[in-house]
Amino acid sequence: MNPDQYVQQKAAASGSSFYYAFLFLPRQRRAAITAFYAFCREVDDVVDDVSDASVAQAKLAWWQGEVAQAFAGRPSHPVMQALMPHVPAYGIEQGQLQAVIEGCQMDLEQTRYLDFAGLARYCHLVAGVVGEVAAHIFGQTDARTTAYAHKLGLAFQLTNIIRDVGEDAMRGRIYLPISELQQFDVKAHEITRREYSDRFTALMRFQAERAHRLYDEALALLPDADRRAQKPGLMMASIYRTLLREIEADGFQVLHQRTSLTPLRKFWLAWKMQALGRM
């Protein structure tokens, strides 16, 4: 298996909404975003799949070294071998990849966030920076598109957090800010015990309303000059926002289940944005 086949398999196997948006890109841009997405999956899987924190830290440290080595012209992992040929064309920086790894390290060192400002810092590293790189690969021409990409990445990550509240709690992580748990009088042990209440529903509605605001703000920031090129991001926005609405319609039953859209529905939403230009 060569590096390009490896990253293609890594991206396809994830079943992520991102993969469906990549399908409509020209070949070179698709190869670049697939390699970058495979990198993000590799480092994220370290946190999710390795139960021993010290082993996970060692693996992330290895990735830090691998990224530095790759930018020095010596990539050894197939993901970096697939990604590096695209670095000059799309202005991908070593610091951006290191920021994604730093965000994954936060998952090993911090399981709670005092307030939304702290959570937003984490989201910036694991999602905002990802959006920034992706926007350049898709074809950014206007500097203002970076602000759009960062805000859209934040909206995506908050949607993930809402969807995965129960699953994350089982791993010992609660991303909902402590100050907001207190605001709605929801105790951490109620979440870990999967106890629903009107208070929990109100808390989750508050989270969803903020995510919707961020989607609206992100879309308003996208310059018209880049709207066509940034269609893959708009496809992802359509898929993620539909997922968020499904969770809302289901009454935020996120403590015991993980809501998802079928592959066919994701493809339909992506195609609708590509062909008709609407969500």
Cβ–Cβ < 8 Å for 217, 151: yes
Q: Which residues contact 134 (CB under 8 A, 6 or more apart)?
A: 33, 36, 149, 232, 233
Mean pLDDT by 10 residues, the chain (279 residues): 89 72 88 94 87 89 97 96 97 96 92 94 94 96 96 96 95 95 97 97 98 97 95 92 96 93 83 68
In this predicted structure, what is the pLDDT of residue 276?
A: 61
* Helix H or strand E encompassing 16: none
Using alpha carbons, select from 100, 200, 202 the residue that is nearest to residue 157.
100
Q: Is 112-278 the same fold as 1-109? A: yes
- Return the half-sphere exposure (C-beta side, CA atoms, 13 A cut-off) of residue 31: 14
Widest Cα–Cα separation across the chain: 56
Give domain 112-278's CATH number out of 1.10.357.10, 1.10.3330.10, 3.40.1190.20, 1.10.600.10. 1.10.600.10
Tokens of 138: 């898709």
Supply the DSSP symbol for 51: -
Cβ–Cβ < 8 Å for 38, 3: no
Domain ranges of the chain: 1-109, 112-278
Cβ–Cβ < 8 Å for 265, 243: no
Task: Work out the burial of residue 206: count CB atoms within 10 Å of its CB; fewer than 13 is exposed, 13-18 middle, 19 or more buried.
Answer: middle
Superfamily of domain 1-109: Farnesyl Diphosphate Synthase (1.10.600.10)
- Signed CA dihedral, 261, 205, 105, 118: sign only: positive
Cβ–Cβ < 8 Å for 270, 23: yes
Tokens of 178: 């402590």
Using alpha carbons, select from 94, 125, 90, 83 the residue that is nearest to residue 107.
125
Cβ–Cβ < 8 Å for 274, 231: yes
Rounded to two decimals, what is the model's pTM?
0.91
Using alpha carbons, select from 30, 41, 27, 38 the residue that is nearest to residue 3.
38
